[in-house]
Amino acid sequence: MLKNKTGVLITAVLVLLLMANSAAFAQGSGSFYGAEDETEIEISGEISPELRYFSAADELNENLKGNLEISYPGQKHEFNFLLDFQPGAVEEVEIDELYYKYYGEKYNILLGKNRPIWGKGDQLHVVDNLNAEDMSDFINQDYKDRQIGEEMLKIDRYFRGGNANLEFVYTPDFTPTRLAEDPESRLGDWVINPFAAQISLKNLAAATAQSEAEVIRQVKNSIAEEDNQFALRFTDSRGGTDYGFSYYHGYLREPSYDLKALNTSLANNPVETPDNLAQIEENKQNFNQALNAADLQYDEVDVFGLELARVIGNVNSRFELAYYRTEDTAGDDPTVRNNKIAWVIGGDRDLPISNLNLNLQFKGEKILDEEEIENNLIQTQTGMQNIDLEYNQDGDYTSNRAVLALEDSYQNEKIIPQLSWVYNLNENDYFLEAALEYELKQDLILTASHKIFSGDAGTTFGQFEDNDYSAISLNYSF
C-alpha cells in the first residue's frame, strides 16, 4: 500500500508543477520560463516495422515498435515525456520517462520517471542498479531500450566548474527484472523458467490446465513486493582519467527461494499429469502450496562500486568493479544469495583497415564463500542433497562473458555492417549477430540481420537454440 501511495505522490507533485508553470504562463509572464529566452515544444520519435523469420519453427512474425518524445527544454526548467510501444512485450505501451528538471547554478533537481545509467562500460554494467531491465525481447534490444523507468527524486551537485558531480537518487518503488511471459508472443518465445531444474513449464501448464503465461504470472504474483531504493554516485575527471565511486541500497532483481521447502512440497504433493478435472484442481493446489513453501523474495543488498575510463594508447579503455553485500555475510544461508564481486573490463579502438572499430569487453562475477554453499547438505532417501539455491554441480562459482563488436562504415556512414558476438566462457554458449544498416534517405534506415543462439539446454543462450531468426526492418525518425 505504501508503495502505491508514494508512487502516486510523486506523479501528483509532477502534475502540480506542470499546472503551476502553465498557470504562470497563462497569466502573461511573457515567457514560460520568465527571464529565459522563449522555448518551443520539441516533438520527436521513431517508428519501426519489422519482419522476423524463425527458421526452426518456420514462422514469419510481423512486429511494430516505436516511441514518441515530447520535451520542453530550457535553461532553468525542463519537462520531458517519452512513450514507448512494442506489441508482444509484457507491457505493450509504457511511459519510459516523465519528469520535471530544474537547473540551478551548481545543482540540478529531477522529479519524476527517469532512466539514468551509471558506469563506464559500453552497454555492459555492474554498477548500474537503479533501473530494472525489460527482457520481453530477451537481449535483442539495446541496453538503454531495455531499461524500465523508475519514479525518483534525483539531485546533482556540481563541483570544480562542473567537472565533478555528486548524484543522489531516491526511488519509492523497486521494480524487478521483467521476464517474458507469453511463448506465443510475436517477438518470439523468450520465456525463462525459474524452476527448470524442478519441473518444465510446459508440463506445469498442462497439469494445471493453464497457459504458460498464466503460470509465469502466478509465479511473479507469489513474490513479495519491495519498496525504496537509495543511491549515491561521485564522478570526476583528473589527468585524463574519468573515475567514479557509487553506493546503492536496494534489492537484487533475481528472486531467492527456499529450495529445500520447494523440493519437499513437490515431493509430498506432486504436480503430475492429470486424468480428470479433480486431479487438475489438486495440481493447482499443490503448485500454489509449492510456491508458498518456496517463499520467493528479493534479497536486500548494498553495492559499492568503482568506475574508470581512460584512453590508453589507441584504446578507449573502460573498467567497473562492484562488491555486492547481502544479508548472508557468512554465506551459509541456503535461501539467501551470497556476497559477490562483479566486474567489467575492456575497451574499443579504431583499426587501420577501412573504418573498422573493434570493441571487446569482459563481464564477470565471483560468488564468495563458495565452501559454505558446498556444505549446505541434507540427508534424503536418495542420499545427500545440496539445498543451496546457488549450488553448482561443477563447483564453479566464477562466471565470465566476452562481448565483441566489430563495426565498419562506408559512403559517409550510409552503410554500416556490424558483427556482434557474446560468449559465456564457463558454459560455452553464445549469441552471434550479423547486421547491415543502410540509410535509404535522411531519417529512414533499412536494417537486415541474422541472429544465432547456441549452447546446452540449461545455458543462458542455449535455452533459445531454436530461436535463431532473420529480420528486416525500417526505422523512421521524425
- Concatenating the DSSP letter of every residue in 317-331 gives EEEEEEEEEES-SSS
Q: Write down the pLDDT at residue 199.
A: 76
Q: Please report which confidence band the pLDDT of residue 30 belongs to, taking 50, 70 and 90 as the band edges.
A: very low
Q: Please report which confidence band the pLDDT of residue 36 belongs to, taking 50, 70 and 90 as the band edges.
A: low
Q: With 90 as the cut, is the pLDDT of residue 38 above it?
A: no
Nearest to 210 by CA among 309, 162, 281, 107: 281
Nine-digit cell at 221?
A: 504474483
For 354-393, write each residue's pLDDT tens digit: 999 999 999 999 999 999 999 999 988 788 999 999 999 9
DSSP one-letter code for 256: B
Nine-digit cell at 281?
A: 484442481
Percentage above 70 pLDDT, the chain: 92
Contact in structure between 272 and 279 (CB atoms under 8 Å)? yes
CA gap 459, 452 in Å, rounded: 14
Mean pLDDT across the chain: 91
Q: Write down the pLDDT at residue 133.
A: 97
Q: Please report which confidence band the pLDDT of residue 17 belongs to, taking 50, 70 and 90 as the band edges.
A: very low
Nearest to 444 by CA among 472, 411, 474, 414: 474
Q: Write down the pLDDT at residue 7.
A: 53
DSSP one-letter code for 462: G
Q: With 50 as the cut, is the pLDDT of residue 22 above it?
A: no
Distances, alpha carbon 173 to alpha carbons 149, 151, 165, 216, 329, in Å: 11, 7, 25, 22, 25
For 259-298, write each residue's pLDDT tens digit: 999 999 999 999 999 999 999 999 999 999 999 999 999 9
Q: Please report which confidence band the pLDDT of residue 254 belongs to, taking 50, 70 and 90 as the band edges.
A: very high
One-letter amino acid at 418 equals Q
For 324-333, write each residue's pLDDT tens digit: 999 999 999 9
Nine-digit cell at 404?
A: 565483441
Q: Please report which confidence band the pLDDT of residue 5 belongs to, taking 50, 70 and 90 as the band edges.
A: very low
Q: Helix, strand or coil for residue 130? A: coil
Q: What is the mean pLDDT of residues 444-460?
A: 96
CA gap 369, 397 in Å, rounded: 9
CA gap 375, 387 in Å, rounded: 9
Q: What is the mean pLDDT of residues 227-245?
A: 97
Q: What is the mean pLDDT of residues 123-137?
A: 97
Q: With 90 as the cut, is the pLDDT of residue 347 above it?
A: yes
Q: Helix, strand or coil for residue 52? A: strand
Helices 277-294 and 212-221: crossing angle, nearest 10°?
Answer: 40
For 46-68, write each residue's pLDDT tens digit: 999 999 999 999 999 999 999 99
Q: Please report which confidence band the pLDDT of residue 449 belongs to, taking 50, 70 and 90 as the band edges.
A: very high
Q: With 50 as the cut, is the pLDDT of residue 40 above it?
A: yes
Burial (0-12, 13-18, 19+ Cβ within 10 Å), 160: exposed
